[in-house]
Amino acid sequence: MTTNRLDGSLYTTIQDRIATLEFGHPASNSFPRTLLDRLTKELNILSENKDVSVIVLTSEGDRAFCAGASFDELVAISTFEEGKIFFSGFANVINAMRKCSKIIIGRVQGKAVGGGVGLAAACDYVLATEAAAIKLSELTIGIGPFVIAPAVERKIGVAGLSELTLAATEWKNAYWAKEKGLYAKVFETQQELNIEIESLASALASYNPDALTEMKNTLWKGTENWDALLLKRAAISGTLVLSDITKKALEKFRK
């Protein structure tokens, strides 16, 4: 599957029971809503594909992993309904990742911000490079990372989530993320990262696919309420984004 460049790109390749799902966008691999919708649909399709045992989620280029949701679309929100739909984009992707029957390996080659951190947290196993610093800066513009918070908290705990969100202007380096449990391993170079990704994915693809699915279900036990929870969180953000404080903050960022 591919999408046009204007709305970003999405490519899926399948080889030896490994599906590599690569997304991209000129604005630091950020996500317009249409691309989030397409990623959700593609994850659902791969979940049902009996020729796939494992998914590698990656982004294009050698710099940013993901800058989160589209800033242009964020500043254009003018109604609660628009806001709720906008913030539901990552809610739907995270829920698709959570319910996907395949193990998802995250390949994080560069910085992740906002929803990009949520994507990494929703993977079952993440490998990264030293360049893969993370930041949740939502409070600086008057909103918060409410939609992705359950996924991030599940990986790094309440204390880690608190540190990451309240120090909203600070980057946390890849080794901080590894220490907290977001990343499993950190590598100096992308070449080393790619070798480890290939090795791990090949090993997983050789295992009993039914066992992998049962393991996936085990790993996500206790998150069955997320379909409703994440949409409720999207509504919170949809309300906050209309506040005068947030509008002024966004205008300052845009300038």
Q: Is residue 112 part of a domain?
A: yes
Cα-Cα-Cα-Cα dihedral of 95, 150, 234, 58, to 10°? -50
Q: How confident is the model at residue 4 (pLDDT cuts 50, 70, 90)?
A: low
Q: How many domains does the chain have?
A: 1
- Whether the per-residue pLDDT at 252 is higher than 90: the answer is no
Q: Is residue 128 part of a domain?
A: yes
Q: Decide which of 14 and 3 is more confident.
A: 14
pLDDT of residue 255: 60
pTM value is 0.95
**What are the respective helix, strand and coil percentages of the chain, to the nearest 5?**
50, 15, 30
Domain that holds residue 174: 9-192+205-254
Q: Is residue 199 part of a domain?
A: no
Q: Is residue 198 part of a domain?
A: no
pLDDT of residue 135: 98
Q: What are phi and psi of 219, to 5 degrees?
A: -65, -30
Structure tokens at 189: 């170079």
Residue 197: closest CA among 134, 128, 124: 128
Q: Is residue 197 part of a domain?
A: no
Beta pairing, strands 103-108 & 125-129:
parallel
Q: Which of 3-12, 108-117, 229-238 has the lowest mean pLDDT?
A: 3-12
Q: Is residue 1 part of a domain?
A: no
We report the CATH number of the domain holding residue 147 as 3.90.226.10
Q: How confident is the model at residue 5 (pLDDT cuts 50, 70, 90)?
A: low
Average pLDDT over residues 110-126: 98
Mean pLDDT of the chain: 95
Q: Is residue 4 part of a domain?
A: no
Average pLDDT over residues 143-160: 98
pLDDT of residue 253: 74
Q: Is residue 2 part of a domain?
A: no
24-81 tens-digit pLDDT:
999 999 999 999 999 999 999 999 999 999 999 999 999 999 999 999 999 999 999 9
